A and B are shown apart, each in its own frame.
Chain A
Amino acid sequence: MDVWYQCEIPYPNVAKDVLDRAPSVRGSLPNRYCDPKIAADLFEECIDEFLLCDDRGLNVVAIEHHAGINSLLAANPMLVAILARQTRKARILSLGTLITLRPDPVRVAEEYATADVISRGRLEIGFVKSGGSEMASSNMSAIDNGWRYWEAIDLISKALTSHDGPFSWEGQYFSHRHVNIWPRGYQQLPRMWSATGDASTSRDVGRRGMVHALVLRGPEGTKAAFAANRQARVDAGLPAQTTDNFAYAALVAVGETEEEGMRLGEKLLWFLNTSMKSAPQFGKFLPGGAPPEAAPMIYRSRRAPDTPTPAGMKPSIGGALIGTTPHQAKAQGILFAGTPDSVYKQIMDFYNFVGGFGHLVMIGRSGPMTHAETEKSINLFSREVLPRLKAIAPVQAGFNQ
């Protein structure tokens, strides 16, 4: 198993009363609350943490979010470029430029090819569908988001793999008459990932053979999405894949004692408990965010406590998780925290429950975690947990299902 370190580079420095008053801490919070000097310090610390990971045998992940306290990474290629130059061994996963929100996938392909060359072939490309406040921040609508997603991926893939001069693309969502990128990528085509949990997209990911990543989805949702992926390949007559095509992302905190690990885990939960607050126009009322048939369950102000999450909505990452305690998060499989032995056991319990995965994405810093705490957790993890995970070879996915 490979392990990938992720930090969203959050900005936890806005006063609580400001956050309490704001209808949303994403999308519409004025940037006067962001002190650029503090932001510079955060970038410096967090990039140093990525470099520490490189040194310790962890791979690294660069994400993208817009206009909120949850992340300062509005421009994914900027961090990818820094990591491409400053790391030496780590593979670098961009997870990723929000391609359904960018008007020009060819430019995205140029950015990726450049980073792949700078890193001498250490780039991996991940795609996320995005949603919520990201739509407003990027001047986009969520209508047809899924269709734009696949067309953008197809165009980026073709741009990265075409070497015989300009080609033309006149698709339903993107039109580019003259595609001919320089430099070409260092790899013929970097491995591609897709972060998604809904059944329909999971099946697409399975048929396409991308690495299927689930983010904070918990055991049941992850198991179901992986199963949909595998079944789609069976239905299409495609060969089975190994665990190397599956990934799970969770909050991970390691301490010398169980208490220390849980204390850090509680700080990581800031990501859910504080940075998720979002106004209804970015969530339940976002056109295209959920199918119209879900409206009875989400439009009314009073929702029955046992109402299931509507089809097409993300059940795990969202308002429903606000208020989660460390013990609840641990029980839900979204937080692996404690001593190295305990964390290893939690990961392996999850691994066995969902049918295996070859990549663990560890979200290792969030909220008020300090640089020192993060480095200590990374060091403990890489010294005492990573070797045991590295020893797990790929096997057929769903081996025990």
Chain B
Amino acid sequence: MSTVTTAPATQRVPVAGVDLDVLRRGPGQPLLLLHGFEHIDPRLPIVDLLARDAELLAPSHPGFGGTKRPKDFGTMYDLVHLYLEYIDTLPAGPITLMGISFGGWLAAEIAVKAGRRIGKLILVDALGIKISDRETPDILDVFNAHPDDVVKKSWHDPAKNAPRYDDMEDEELITISRNRETLCRYAFHPYMYSPQLKRWLGFIKARTLVLWGASDGVVKPSYGEAYAKLIPGAKFETIAAAGHHPEIEQPVALAERVQAFLKA
């Protein structure tokens, strides 16, 4: 994994019966970041980079990282409503919503529902819709594919960036396993998409930027281009030398694109 900095603090925020672990960092307008397959590690460089010009709010979805999942909570429906409630607790006015991978799917669902409360929307290697025909999966099945294949397709530079389980602490491995189990619960069937979301993307009111790792083999840039075309006025850009996790492989480039979009 990439170089890390000192860990910023997380806060435990009670929302709709969930004690949500929220990583909070930086001054300025709120930037709500919804993570993908893994929760945002507070030591990742992307945290400080995004917190330079905005107040970064990066919650761990229930069941991921430090957030416990209530027994009666386990669907995308629950996640959308949880974050709508959370957004309600933020200062009035439009916020920026950013979602990566699975969190991109979640961000798109929320943007459809939250209307003008979302001023800007940034989707990074987002999942959530079905583009190709019924015999062509758009999204690599990270549960049923061989782990070596998943690593190869997830990273631009697997040798440098893919997690190495042999070098990890017990607690980190337990968290990864719990995160995978939770992801499976939220997104197993249909696999990583909602059959209905595509129909509603055209009603997103936020200014939208769609960013994609140029080397993403989990879900290809062409999927991102198609995604962007479904959202009115959305811009599509790729990030060089990044796979499915630009926040880890190219944090500086990703943060620069985000900041340029926020300033525009």
Q: Judge if B260 is at the interface, Cβ distance under 8 Å.
A: no
Closest to A279 in B: B146
Q: Using known A-B contacts A300-B166, A301-B165, determine if residue A141 contacts B176 with beta carbons closer than 8 Å.
A: no
Q: Using known A-B contacts A281-B146, A285-B147, A302-B166, determine if residue A141 contacts B188 with beta carbons closer than 8 Å.
A: yes
List which A287-303 residues lie within 8 A (CB) of chain B. 287-288, 292-296, 299-302
**In whole Å, how far is B165's beta carbon from the nearest beta carbon of chain A?**
4
Q: Judge if A143 is at the interface, Cβ distance under 8 Å.
A: yes
Q: Judge if A139 is at the interface, Cβ distance under 8 Å.
A: yes
Q: Judge if B116 is at the interface, Cβ distance under 8 Å.
A: no
Q: Judge if A319 is at the interface, Cβ distance under 8 Å.
A: no
User: Would A287 and B184 count as touching, CB distance under 8 A?
Assistant: yes
**In whole Å, how far is B153's beta carbon from the nearest beta carbon of chain A?**
13
Query: For the complex, what is the distance from the CA of A288 to the CA of B188, rounded to whole Å?
Result: 12
Query: For the complex, what is the distance from the CA of A163 to the CA of B133, rounded to whole Å?
Result: 45
Q: Judge if A280 is at the interface, Cβ distance under 8 Å.
A: yes
Query: For the complex, what is the distance from the CA of A299 to the CA of B165, rounded to whole Å?
Result: 6
User: Would B173 and A296 count as touching, CB distance under 8 A?
Assistant: yes
Q: How many residues of B contact A (CB 8 A)?
A: 22
Q: Judge if A23 is at the interface, Cβ distance under 8 Å.
A: yes
Query: For the complex, what is the distance from the CA of A144 to the CA of B72, rounded to whole Å?
Result: 13
Selected from B147, B174, B183, B188, the residue in CB contact (under 8 A) with A293 is: B174
Closest to B72 in A: A172
Q: Using known A-B contacts A281-B145, A281-B146, determine if residue A295 contacts B184 with beta carbons closer than 8 Å.
A: no
Selected from A23, A144, A281, A293, the residue in CB contact (under 8 A) with B144 is: A281
List which A231-286 residues lie within 8 A (CB) of chain B. 279-281, 285-286
Q: Judge if B177 is at the interface, Cβ distance under 8 Å.
A: yes
Selected from B177, B183, B185, the residue in CB contact (under 8 A) with A295 is: B177
Majority DSSP secondary structure for residues of A touching B: loop
List which B159-200 residues lie within 8 A (CB) of chain A. 165-166, 168, 170, 173-178, 180-181, 183-185, 188-189
Query: For the complex, what is the distance from the CA of A301 to the CA of B166, rounded to whole Å?
Result: 6
User: Would B170 and A296 count as touching, CB distance under 8 A?
Assistant: yes
Q: Judge if B143 is at the interface, Cβ distance under 8 Å.
A: yes
**In whole Å, how far is A215's beta carbon from the nearest beta carbon of chain B?**
25
User: Would A287 and B180 count as touching, CB distance under 8 A?
Assistant: yes
Selected from B143, B144, B177, the residue in CB contact (under 8 A) with A299 is: B177
User: Would B143 and A296 count as touching, CB distance under 8 A?
Assistant: no
**In whole Å, how far is B100's beta carbon from the nearest beta carbon of chain A?**
20
User: For A347, what are the chain B residues with a Cβ–Cβ distance below 8 Å?
Assistant: none
Selected from A136, A286, A295, A301, the residue in CB contact (under 8 A) with B176 is: A295
**In whole Å, how far is B66's beta carbon from the nearest beta carbon of chain A?**
13
B 120-163 binary contact with A (CB < 8 Å = 1; else 0): 00000000000000000000000111110000000000000000
Q: How many A-B residue pairs have CB under 8 A?
A: 59
User: For B189, what are the chain A residues with a Cβ–Cβ distance below 8 Å?
Assistant: 139, 141
Best-surrounded residue of B175, B183, B184 (most CB of chain A within 10 A): B184
Closest to B144 in A: A136
User: Would A287 and B165 count as touching, CB distance under 8 A?
Assistant: no
User: For B177, what are the chain A residues with a Cβ–Cβ distance below 8 Å?
Assistant: 287, 292, 294-295, 299
Q: How large is the interface on A (under 10, 10 to 19, 20 to 34, 35 or more residues)?
A: 20 to 34
User: For A302, what are the chain B residues with a Cβ–Cβ distance below 8 Å?
Assistant: 166
Q: Using known A-B contacts A281-B145, A302-B166, determine if residue A292 contacts B178 with beta carbons closer than 8 Å.
A: yes
User: For A300, what are the chain B residues with a Cβ–Cβ distance below 8 Å?
Assistant: 165-166, 173
User: Would B165 and A292 count as touching, CB distance under 8 A?
Assistant: no
Query: For the complex, what is the distance from the CA of A279 to the CA of B147, rounded to whole Å?
Result: 9
Closest to A284 in B: B147
Query: For the complex, what is the distance from the CA of A136 to the CA of B145, rounded to whole Å?
Result: 10
Query: For the complex, what is the distance from the CA of A139 to the CA of B176, rounded to whole Å?
Result: 23
User: For B170, what are the chain A residues with a Cβ–Cβ distance below 8 Å?
Assistant: 295-296
User: For A287, what are the chain B residues with a Cβ–Cβ distance below 8 Å?
Assistant: 143, 177, 180-181, 183-184
Q: Using known A-B contacts A139-B189, A141-B189, A299-B173, determine if residue A292 contacts B146 with beta carbons closer than 8 Å.
A: no
User: For B147, what are the chain A residues with a Cβ–Cβ distance below 8 Å?
Assistant: 280-281, 285
User: For B178, what are the chain A residues with a Cβ–Cβ distance below 8 Å?
Assistant: 292
**In whole Å, how far is B129's beta carbon from the nearest beta carbon of chain A?**
20
Query: For the complex, what is the distance from the CA of A286 to the CA of B168, rounded to whole Å?
Result: 19
User: Would B165 and A288 count as touching, CB distance under 8 A?
Assistant: no
Query: For the complex, what is the distance from the CA of A286 to the CA of B177, rounded to whole Å?
Result: 9
User: For B174, what are the chain A residues with a Cβ–Cβ distance below 8 Å?
Assistant: 292-293, 295-296
Query: For the complex, what is the distance from the CA of A102 to the CA of B20, rounded to whole Å?
Result: 35
User: Would A143 and B188 count as touching, CB distance under 8 A?
Assistant: yes
User: Would B176 and A299 count as touching, CB distance under 8 A?
Assistant: yes
Query: For the complex, what is the distance from the CA of A143 to the CA of B188, rounded to whole Å?
Result: 10
Closest to B173 in A: A295
User: Would A280 and B173 count as touching, CB distance under 8 A?
Assistant: no
Query: For the complex, what is the distance from the CA of A286 to the CA of B145, rounded to whole Å?
Result: 11
Query: Which A residues are closer than 8 A to B by beta carbons?
Result: 23, 136, 139, 141, 143-144, 279-281, 285-288, 292-296, 299-302
Query: Which B residues are closer than 8 A to A by beta carbons?
Result: 143-147, 165-166, 168, 170, 173-178, 180-181, 183-185, 188-189
26 contacts between A and B (CB under 8 A): A139-B189, A141-B184, A141-B185, A141-B188, A143-B188, A279-B146, A280-B146, A281-B147, A285-B180, A287-B143, A287-B181, A288-B181, A292-B178, A292-B181, A293-B174, A295-B170, A295-B173, A295-B174, A296-B170, A299-B168, A299-B173, A299-B177, A300-B165, A300-B173, A301-B165, A301-B166
